[in-house]
Amino acid sequence: MKNKYIFLFFITLLSCSKENLSNNSVIDSNIIKRQYTELDTYITNEFINPYGISVEYRWNNNTAPKGNYAYPPETDKVQEVLKAIKYLWLETYTLSNIGGSDFMKGKNPIKIYMYGGKNLDSNGVELISNPNSGAIEMHLYNINEFNPKNATQVYILMRSVHHQFAKRLLELFPYNRDKFVTISQKKYISSTEEIKQISGLTRSELFGIESYANKRGFFTQHSRLSAEDDFAEIISVMLTNSQKEVEQAFTTAQTPDTDSNPEVQQHYNQEAKEAYAEITQKQAMVTDYFKKEIKINLTRMQTISVQRIKAYINQ
């Protein structure tokens, strides 16, 4: 009889254990079940359901970048950033006179990661994207600093978004890399060390159209890192800057530095000639790529995108 009670005791204990342990057991999966918030509802309704894009804003040690200033974003800032990129990125591409309502299907990244701090590399240079991630992901930084009324912050956010999405498009619709890379082949740099050495480079200059880069045949400092970065930067620059600002970069590129020494001046003149030829050739190639492969008139989209950025800031 005693053995019978012991047996029943263990059966009861086993049953209770099965009832208390769910399929999402922390012990088994090392995943903590989180409270579903209003922000999660917004993400589900505005990103997951219509676009298939999930958003990771909670801290995850397995995916968080190591060794920089990335840390969890403030949740009240997360939705502000998401509203901005939805209007200025997703809803711009899907306008009827741009890509159409179905444009994003099969093209969008599947996950957006959000961080509170800066994206600094080992040289202390702030990057426009995460070089260690694939194009199927998008990584957004400086969430805690975001102010939808601050033109510089909105500009830098959208420069990063358009740069990263451009790389996603390049992955899906390959460009003629061999032809593109020959234009500025000898001018790409292997690290950001050279960018770090440029004296007085402000954050706005680092992320904007910049004269030092223009005079070497590039729109931005980030363009100089690789052919892929260069191509993506041209798309990003055009979708965040007016045509007048783009043409000013051409003017800067073709304007030589001056020197009293005739030989040095001749060298400067040749540099300016090459820089202008390179930056205009690459811009023309990107515009043609967008027309033929993406089926979008990039110049027309540029006008609309810049107008929407201004309207968003002034709302």
Nearest-CA neighbor of 125 among 223, 195, 230? Answer: 195
Distance CA 217, CA 85 (A): 29
Residues in the chain: 315
Distance CA 140, CA 127 (A): 11
pLDDT in tens, the chain (315 residues): 545 444 444 444 444 444 443 343 232 333 445 688 999 999 999 999 999 999 999 977 656 666 556 788 999 999 999 999 999 999 999 999 999 999 999 998 889 999 999 999 999 999 999 988 889 999 999 999 999 999 999 999 999 999 999 999 999 999 999 999 999 999 999 999 999 999 889 999 999 999 999 999 999 999 999 999 999 999 999 999 999 999 999 999 999 999 999 999 999 999 999 999 999 999 999 999 999 999 999 999 999 999 999 999 999
DSSP-H helix ranges across 21-74: 26-29, 38-43, 49-51
Give me 49's structure tokens.
């359901």
Q: Which is it for strands 111-114 and 137-140: parallel, antiparallel or unpaired?
A: parallel
Sheet containing 137-140: give its strands across.
54-56, 111-114, 137-140
pTM for this predicted structure? 0.87
Query: What class has domain 38-314?
Result: alpha beta
Residue boundaries of the structural domains of the chain: 38-314
